[in-house]
Amino acid sequence: MELVRGQDRDRYLSALYAPDDRRDALFALYAFNAEIAGIRDRVSEPMPGEIRLQWWRDVIASGDPRAGAGHPVAEALLAAIAAYRLPTAAFDNYLEARIFDLYDDPMPSRTDLEGYCGETASALIQLAALVLDAPEAASHAELAGHAGCAQAITGLLRLLPMHRARGQCYVPRDILAAAGMTAEEFVADGESQRSALVVQAMIALAREHLGAFARQAGAMPASLRPAFLPLALTGAYLDRLQRGKDGMSSLRKHLLMLRIASRGWR
């Protein structure tokens, strides 16, 4: 819980709306996500990062609760997987997708970006939904797909300054090409009009998925809302990015989440 509160405030707040007996499992999922997302910053070369991802893959595949002994996040995650019979294939796909984070290769296409988002953010939402209400989660996988794409693309835009400092580019080549740019040019030049067009195209893509999510979210059962609650902030983040700003006060986050947690999406 402390790890998630410090590194992923939005998901931390969303988990507080979950039933008491499900929160530990949600915090385990979100702590795992924060742990994997931070690997790039803890290694100086891609190979040690890949070794770390493989360690997680082996631990999860083992099915042995003792495999993560000594690592609090691994212990909590294995307990959650066992308690809620979470599909280990989803974690394997998630870890495979995260290899991309370790390198500076450009994202090949919009389809590849959506696939990356689907295997990471969307999968995390679906796993959280399985913890909250497994029977209902199965019929809301498509909703999780759009939700994860909207959330992840928005997150990538918010982290753009950090990615540029690393020389990393998550913007697909086809979107860059439409603005007449290469990945190298986009990373190096954050102030040009062409760069601004690329950012606007990415915002439009995030809004496309957010709109698809919103059109279906009205029928979502209340039991699944906590898994999707970070989406309560996505539209506001995109509005601020559209104006060249970022960030949001804690009070604003609480109010947006409280409204959705109480009434759902309408």
Model confidence pLDDT, tens digit, residues 145-201: 999 999 999 999 999 999 999 999 999 999 999 999 999 999 998 788 999 999 999
Tell me the residue range of the domain where 56 lies: 2-263
Give dist(CA 146, CA 213) in Å, integer. Answer: 5
The DSSP symbol for 86 reads -
Residue 89 pLDDT: 97
Give dist(CA 198, CA 235) in Å, integer. Answer: 19
Give dist(CA 65, CA 83) in Å, integer. Answer: 11
What is the residue type of 258? L
Residues whose CB is less than 8 angstroms from the CB of residue 111 and which lie 6 or more positions away in sequence, other chains included = none
pLDDT tens string 65-80:
788 888 999 999 999 9
What is the residue type of 236? A
DSSP labels, 62-86:
H--GGGGTT-HHHHHHHHHHHHHT-
Query: What mean pLDDT, rounded, does the chain reach?
Result: 95
Cβ-based neighbour number of residue 148 at 10 Å = 27
Give dist(CA 226, CA 236) in Å, integer. Answer: 18
What's the total number of domains in the chain? 1
Residue 10 pLDDT: 96
**Per-residue pLDDT band at 109 (split at 50, 70, 90):** very high
Q: Residue 195: give its domain's CATH number.
A: 1.10.600.10
- Its pTM stands at 0.95
pLDDT tens string 19-69:
999 999 999 999 999 999 999 999 989 999 999 999 999 999 998 878 888
CB 59 within 8 A of CB 32: no
